[in-house]
Amino acid sequence: MKLLGIILIGYGLILCVIEKFAWYRILWFLAGAGLILASSFGASLPFWAEVLAYLPTVVILVLILWIHTRNEAAAQNREKEPAESIIVLGCKVGSLSFENRTKEATEYLFDHPETSVICSGAQGSDEPCSEAEAFARAIERKGISDERILKEPDSFNTAENIRNSMELIINTDAPIGIVTSSYHVYRAVSIAKKAGLSHAFGIPAESVPFYVPDYELREGLAYIKGKITGEL
């Protein structure tokens, strides 16, 4: 148990160094510290303290398992009819997520030649152009005609991606594919359906396994927040 606690703390530290500190990542440190405390002093701890020691680990496990199963279901629940359009949700230009989303979008477009694509995403402060423009160029380079590519360069988050892209969709009752990373599929599709795309479905792009537990933890918390704020 103590070793697992050390691993959880190490995982949190690596994430903060490789990426950046985020408030939800405190849970990795709390979980690790709780397991170390429980394994070192479990017999002498009062019951309430032992419960608190294990609570962060339980929260992490429940959220990750829940959102993971939801992501799997959303990814498999594709419409039988080809999508009228697919929306590629923005992410950092040049990142592995960017490459994987481009790959999935391109493969779907080759398989469904009547489908158009909406590339969505604004320009970040450290990006050479808007994410929409970068996706459009990358997809066109892979052989998709520019006549099938639309751009939505004003969105900074998933809800804006969906809402702004809907302005470019002729029939919002038609099947619409949402291209995003595998850990993000369920929340993205839920936001799309809440916004009025009743036949939205997920097209998952591959994610780096090392980051998946952390990102699914974030997605679980974001989903709960979305329910509270009315976004979902």
Tens-place pLDDT, residues 77-114: 666 678 999 999 999 998 999 999 999 999 999 999 99
Return d(Cα 38, Cα 45) in angstroms, integer.
8
8-45 pLDDT, tens digit per residue, is 999 999 999 998 899 999 999 999 999 999 888 877 88
Q: Does residue 47 share a domain with residue 104?
A: no
Q: Given CA atoms 137, 142, 146, 151 in this order, what sign does their dihedral have?
A: negative
Q: Does residue 127 share a domain with residue 97?
A: yes
Q: Does residue 86 share a domain with residue 63?
A: no
161, 86 Cβ separation under 8 angstroms: no
Q: Does residue 159 share a domain with residue 143?
A: yes
Q: Mean pLDDT throughout 66-71?
A: 94
Q: Given CA atoms 23, 29, 34, 35 in this order, what sign does their dihedral have?
A: positive
User: Where is the domain boundary, 31, 56, 74?
Assistant: 74
Tell me: pLDDT of 157 over 80.
Answer: yes
Tell me: pLDDT of 50 over 70.
Answer: yes
Phi, psi of 37 (to 5 degrees): -65, -45
Q: Does residue 221 share a domain with residue 128?
A: yes
**Quick one: DSSP state of residue 121?**
-
Q: Does residue 93 share a domain with residue 202?
A: yes
**CA nearest neighbour of 186 among 69, 81, 53:** 69
Residue/partner pairs of 51-55 with CB below 8 Å, 24 or more apart:
none
Placement of tokens 């481009």 in the chain: 102
Q: Mean pLDDT throughout 48-65?
A: 93
Tell me: pLDDT of 63 over 70.
Answer: yes
Task: Give percent of the chain above pLDDT 90.
Answer: 79
CA angle, residues 188, 189, 191, in degrees to nearest 5:
65
- Look at residue 232 in the predicted model and tell me its pLDDT: 83
- Look at residue 79 in the predicted model and tell me its pLDDT: 65
* Averaged pLDDT score across all residues of the chain: 92
Q: Given CA atoms 86, 92, 95, 97 in this order, what sign does their dihedral have?
A: negative
User: Where is the domain boundary, 32, 47, 74?
Assistant: 74
Task: For residue 45, give its domain range.
Answer: 2-74
Between 158-166 and 185-195, two packed helices, what is the crossing angle to 10 degrees?
40
**CA nearest neighbour of 30 among 53, 2, 7, 64:** 53
Number of domains in the chain: 2
Q: Does residue 117 share a domain with residue 54?
A: no
Q: Does residue 113 share a domain with residue 39?
A: no
Q: Does residue 113 share a domain with residue 223?
A: yes
